[in-house]
Amino acid sequence: MISDDKNKEEILEKVNSHLPPQIRVWGIQRTNNAFNSHLHCDSRVYEYILPSHCFLPPKPGSTAAECAKTFQAEKRKNEPEDTFWDNIIGPDFYSLLKRYTTNRKEPPIENPLPDLSPEELERFNMIRSAETEAIRSFRLSAPRLERIRSAFKMYLGTHNFHNLTVGVAHSSPHAQRYMMSIDVGSPKLIGSTEWVRIKIHGQSFMLHQIRKMIGAVLIAIRYDVGEESIRHTLTTKENMHIPKAPAQGLLLERPVFSGMAQKLEKFGNEALDWEPYADKIEKFKDEFIYKSIFRETTAENVYVPQLLSFFPFTWRETFFEQC
């Protein structure tokens, strides 16, 4: 039996010395013989992290922007994001892009852009580079951040999440889920890009639920369809096709054992609590998780809207038809 903090620290040090730096043991706490980490987990906290530029409006002239014009935008005050694209994209970009993509499924390897002259190709690549640089240096405004926080509050409480998972009918009792808290943190710089961290504490979750919750908010903010669109996904009996946000940004931050914690405290033992390790965990995430997500998503341009938008057009179309 571990009798004091000194012994605990010695054991932790020995255990961690045999583990790679990407795996850490944070602490040792005594439980009873009946404890089961799976069965006694009564809620979970997930974190989703994504670049703030994902909340930009669609690129003018793109298919996404043309789609958004057909829907009534919510009435709101102007935000800096509304004019983001004004000085980035030249008027000739889409004519070049159209010639590049027309009737071409796979460009020939030996000459990938046969329809563009060298001068046009240089212009085309210059605009794309400027666009990517501007997107990655974008900083979220306070008014838009508040709208994002307000949109996520729509999920709090018990709702029917059948449209935010797969294969679960509206009538199924499994569709009912309870969200206990949702925190949208202040933007955080990772590398040169600003990221937004969203922590969702729920009693339980279904397949793809969190990624679809993020996806619905992205649509509500980017396309100005408002919070009502989120409420609609939670109240309608119709089946809607909500896009999933990329998987790279999702991580389980911690399981919560509140019921077991009360039992342990009742008999004089320490509660199962992650707070004493919060600073160490944040440092670990900064060093090993966030930087890894940043490297992977930057290398693959996972979050940078290039040709159309963040989401497939057919899914957006189905979503808006029902809102």
Mean pLDDT in residue range 33-61 = 90
Residue with the bigger pLDDT between 282 and 100: it is: 282
Instruction: Please report the pLDDT score of residue 112 as a whole number.
Output: 53
Taking a C-beta distance cutoff of 8 angstroms, is the pair 89, 59 a contact?
Answer: yes
Residue with the bigger pLDDT between 274 and 149: it is: 149
Residue with the bigger pLDDT between 290 and 311: it is: 290
List phi, psi (to 5°) of 197.
Answer: -105, 130
Taking a C-beta distance cutoff of 8 angstroms, is the pair 181, 256 a contact?
Answer: no
Encode burial over 78-94: b for 16+ CB neighbours within 10 A, e otherwise: ebebeebbeeebeeebe
Instruction: Please report the pLDDT score of residue 308 as a whole number.
Output: 34
Instruction: Please report the pLDDT score of residue 310 as a whole number.
Output: 43
Taking a C-beta distance cutoff of 8 angstroms, is the pair 256, 44 a contact?
Answer: yes
DSSP 273-309: -SGGGHHHHHHHIIIIIIHHHHHHHHHHTSS---SS-
Instruction: Please report the pLDDT score of residue 323 as a whole number.
Output: 35
Residue with the bigger pLDDT between 315 and 176: it is: 176
DSSP 308: S
Tell me the pTM. 0.84
Q: Report the C-alpha gap between 232 and 67 in whole angstroms.
A: 20
Taking a C-beta distance cutoff of 8 angstroms, is the pair 136, 193 a contact?
Answer: yes
Q: Is 196 helix (H, G, I), strand (E, B) or coil?
A: strand
Instruction: Please report the pLDDT score of residue 307 as a whole number.
Output: 33
The domains of the chain, with CATH numbers, are 43-84+138-321 (3.30.70.660), 93-134 (no CATH)
Place of tokens 């000459």: 111
Task: Read off the pLDDT band of 234 (50, 70, 90).
Answer: very high
Task: Read off the pLDDT band of 3 (50, 70, 90).
Answer: low
Residue with the bigger pLDDT between 236 and 69: it is: 236
Which two tokens mark 273? 């609590």
Instruction: Please report the pLDDT score of residue 64 as a whole number.
Output: 72
